[in-house]
Amino acid sequence: MIIDYLDSSAASDIDADLCIIGAGAAGIAIARHFIGTSITVCLIEGGGATGEEQSQALYEGISVGTVPFDAGTSRMRVFGGSCNLWGGGCIPLGPHDLAERHWVAHSGWPIAYDELQPYYERARAYCQIEPYHFTDGSFLTSLARAPISFDADKLVNQIFARSPILFGKAYRAELEKAPNITVLLHANLLELHASASGASVRHARIGAVNGRKGVARAQHYVLACGGIENARMLLLSNSVLPHGLGNENDLVGRYFMDHPCGSVGTVITNSPERLTRPYDRNAGKGLATAFPEIGLSHAFQAAHRILNGRVHPFAVEDTVPKGIQSLRDFRAALRPCVHDENAMLEARLCAALKNAPANGEDSREHSANVAMLALRVGLGSMDIAKALLQKLRHRPTVRSNRVELMGYFEQAPNPDSRITLANERDILGLPKVCIDWRLTALDRHTYRTAAALFGTELAQACGGIYHPAAWLSEGDNVTAQVHTTAHHLGATRMADDPRHGVVDPRCRVHGVENLHVAGSSVFPTGGWAFPTFTVVALALRLADQLRALMRATALSEAI
């Protein structure tokens, strides 16, 4: 059953056995695990069925770190979560990503890779990807195009699989039909109210933007609000414990990480397709179901004492011939313009993540001049014919001799990179999030060392010349030219010892017996892979643990 909490006819309070806050990839995975059982579940989502600017405004925050970070555009508050914006990339972390590295402070997971692998296998079905086998941080499958062969002690090709689904759309009907599942939309968590000792959660206070308020009561609670919001909600739950739940050691919000991304330079070459074609994520007219990425070998990371990372080559076009530009404009004009709030919000957020302006106005201008554009296409037929010939030869349709290398990197765990509460409040009256995103000397050392290797090896592969990005040689005192990839990690990190982490290896908040956390905020380190596949695996693992725990409780009460 799905209920809109904005509806005044809906009950203000709700009781369930399990309360999950956040209906993204993790929250939906856990809720689905209980369909058909005797355990009642309440899945609480602050957004609506589709994106809305009013709900999205609740994600706005303050950035005070050395690197700018916009909390309001790097996630989406909606049923299905931020994965409504994702590209579907799935890849597991490898054993080395979970291991302690002596050159990376605070590294090492308290669980072994073998504990995750069975859940990675189950995560394939949830993400609806092919049942590819695993190797170290990669899938095993044949590819449409052979990647570049590298010295395995330096660079490796690791394979992603692409999920074809959005979790909210794929599983909404199941949740709506399940008699033991209740989904509340537009119900925002205000606080997890703790017992007098802080050892358990008594109820969750919830509210809507129209002023409605109530409580959700359950035996167990799961925070699955995303990598930023999980920490914010624990800090906001401070009516009993002034510093918030799980924050006895001042660790909630600390060790905040992302996968910093930025251009590490260009390769000048007469054969750009040698670099770009093997890593093109399109397969003919459709999207590839699996594709390679270029990563750093474990041997190179250890030898040079750096973090993990990958690079993707993008061809940079020279001047586009008038005929081809006219054809592109004509196609854009024929696309239907969608003006609903959800589509416009998604376009705005996607543009922000790409550091590009939204271009909804352009298509409206084009649509008013379709006849003129069609005439221009006809006049540019010679350019189009040449481009078609190039395409048949598997070459770029627009001349290029420059390939941009975009690097994506693991970030070092850093206690000073953190999430706190701002003085400014949102429309619910809650303090907004304040993000102090910081990089370390190890991060910068990684960028310089990895960029030199990526550039040298890729230039050699195509007979080109590598030109590093200027910012890489400007020293540690200059702001690194990187930005977020919206992979929010680490702010409620996992550890055996409560002095070193917020949750234990079973993702239960240290010192709070009935509160668990799901999502990438529990990652002690992030590797370089897209985190969603690991988020799902950990969520399925947590679901198993909760189901066993609640069965055991029911059995003991029956005796």
DSSP states along 388-431: HHHHHTTS-SS---EEEEEEEE-----TTSEEEEEEEE-TTSPE
What is the structure's pLDDT at 422?
97
Token pair recorded at residue 74: 């790097």
Average pLDDT over residues 444-472: 96
Q: pLDDT at residue 237 above 70?
A: yes
Place of tokens 């799901």: 518
Place of tokens 């905020």: 521
Nearest to 118 by CA among 92, 99, 96: 92
What is the helix (H) or strand (E) element at residue 28, kind and residue range?
helix 25-32
Question: Where does 224-296 show beta strands of DSSP type E?
Answer: 261-268, 282-283, 286-287, 290-296
For the stretch 515-532, pLDDT in tens is 999 999 999 999 999 999
DSSP 89: E
- List the single range of 217-231, 256-270, 274-288, 484-498 with lowest mean pLDDT: 274-288
What is the structure's pLDDT at 360?
45
Average pLDDT over residues 463-491: 90
What is the helix (H) or strand (E) element at residue 140, kind and residue range?
strand 138-140
What is the structure's pLDDT at 56?
96
Q: pLDDT at residue 80 above 80?
A: yes
204 vs 365: which has the higher pLDDT = 204
Q: pLDDT at residue 514 above 90?
A: yes
Q: pLDDT at residue 286 above 60?
A: no
Q: What percent of the chain lies above the pLDDT cut of 90?
A: 77
- The span from the CA of 376 to the CA of 328, in Å, is 11
What is the structure's pLDDT at 169?
96
Please state whether beta strands 18-21 and 220-223 pair in parallel, antiparallel, or not at all (unpaired): parallel
Q: Write down the mean pLDDT value for the chain.
A: 90
For the stretch 119-154, pLDDT in tens is 999 999 999 999 999 888 999 998 888 999 999 999
Q: Tell me the one-letter amino acid at 226.
A: G
For the stretch 361-415, pLDDT in tens is 444 344 446 555 555 545 556 655 655 665 555 566 656 788 999 999 999 999 9
For the stretch 4-55, pLDDT in tens is 999 999 999 999 999 999 999 999 999 999 999 999 999 999 999 999 999 9
Q: Give per-residue burial for 115-124: e unless 16+ CB within 10 Å, then b.
A: ebeebbebbb
Which residues lie across from 162 on neighbouring strands?
89
For the stretch 91-113, pLDDT in tens is 999 999 999 999 999 999 999 99
- List the single range of 188-192, 211-215, 246-250, 368-372 with lowest mean pLDDT: 368-372
For the stretch 315-364, pLDDT in tens is 886 665 655 566 556 566 666 666 688 988 888 888 887 765 445 444 43
What is the structure's pLDDT at 96?
96
Which domains can be identified in the chain, with CATH numbers?
2-58+76-128+165-249+489-558 (3.50.50.60)
Phi, psi of 193 (to 5 degrees): -85, 120
What is the structure's pLDDT at 480?
87
> Distance between terminal CA atoms of the chain?
32
What is the structure's pLDDT at 556?
63
